Structure 1
Amino acid sequence: MWIPYEEIRKHHPDFRVKYRFYSENEGGRKATPFQGYRSDFSYDGDDIRITGIFAIHPEFEDANGKIILDSGSPVPLEGTARMWILFPHMRKEVHTKRVELGVIGYFMEGPKRVAVVEVIEIVGLHSNPNL
């Protein structure tokens, strides 16, 4: 059973995205991940050799926008996820300046893009702890 990050971290997610995992033929994963998947994040247009990738983890939602609590089944190939910035100083120094509605990004596994995402809601990005 999954314990929602909001219970653990004691603040709201930073933002929400709609996502679509790439198929294996598109260069994506062989299997769909489970709740608790810890991909990294990159912004569309970034050269990750220069910017690097960011520690922002997804927490997947069901079709009704509720956190998926079953950590033993694959998440949907497409859907929505709450996004959690792991390092507060990065929230303040980088992401509050870059995350806005409509921004395109990617779930990353190392240098590999495995899903495309679009920011659909800003939640606690500007009010979550900075340090």
Structure 2
Amino acid sequence: MKETNCWTPYEQRRGHRADFKVRYRFYPEAEGGRKLLPFQGYRSDFAYEGDDLRETGVFAIHPEFEDENENVILDLTSPVPPEGTARMWILFPAVRKKVHLDRIEPGVIGYFMEGARRVAVAEVIEIVGLHENPVEELENE
């Protein structure tokens, strides 16, 4: 029986490494952020700093939060830290090739998005599997 309070890392589910890593900070509610911090498994979208969302929209890139030792947080019973590092997963391989291969690099600033609302700022700190990960849809995705 599967433990319901334990996260299964995306790397196990998807069969490849994360695309990139970010250092993030959730905005407090007073700055327009969330009332409560999310839990591992949170599915925000991603937007690049400087993009006009009316033209580009947001991108399906989900964070997977790490602990202070850069291990994936497995506990589903506690909120993630208000700031830290996260592995980022581009959900659609075709968009990885068409958009993100040329845009993601260390120092790029983006945001965790809930609709059109920025709830966290994120800076790309490391390229992980971006250039090796699939660029075509896989049968199990």
Smaller-chain TM-score bracket: over 0.9
Per the alignment, residue 110 of structure 1 pairs with 115
Unmatched 5+ residue regions in structure 2?
Answer: 1-5, 137-141
Distance 2:77 2:64 in 1: 14
Q: How far off is 1:71 after superposition?
A: 1.1
Distance 1:99 1:64 in 2: 24
Give structure 1 regions of 4+ aligned residues with deviation exceeding 4 angstroms: none
Deviations for 1:17-63, whole angstroms, at most 9, x for unmatched residues? 00000000000000000000000000000010110000000000000
Per the alignment, residue 25 of structure 2 pairs with 20
Per the alignment, residue 43 of structure 1 pairs with 48
Per the alignment, residue 61 of structure 1 pairs with 66
Distance 1:101 1:67 in 2: 20
Aligned length: 131
Superposition RMSD in Å: 0.3
Q: How far off is 1:72 after superposition?
A: 1.2
Distance 2:45 2:77 in 1: 21
TM-score, normalization by structure 1: 1.00
1:29 to 16, 29, 34: 34
1:90 to 2:95 alignment: yes
Distance 1:59 1:118 in 2: 15
Per the alignment, residue 74 of structure 1 pairs with 79
1:4 to 1, 9, 13: 9
TM-score, normalization by structure 2: 0.93
Taking only the aligned residue pairs, the percentage that are identical comes to 71
Distance 1:71 1:128 in 2: 27
* Partner SS, residue 102 of structure 2: helix
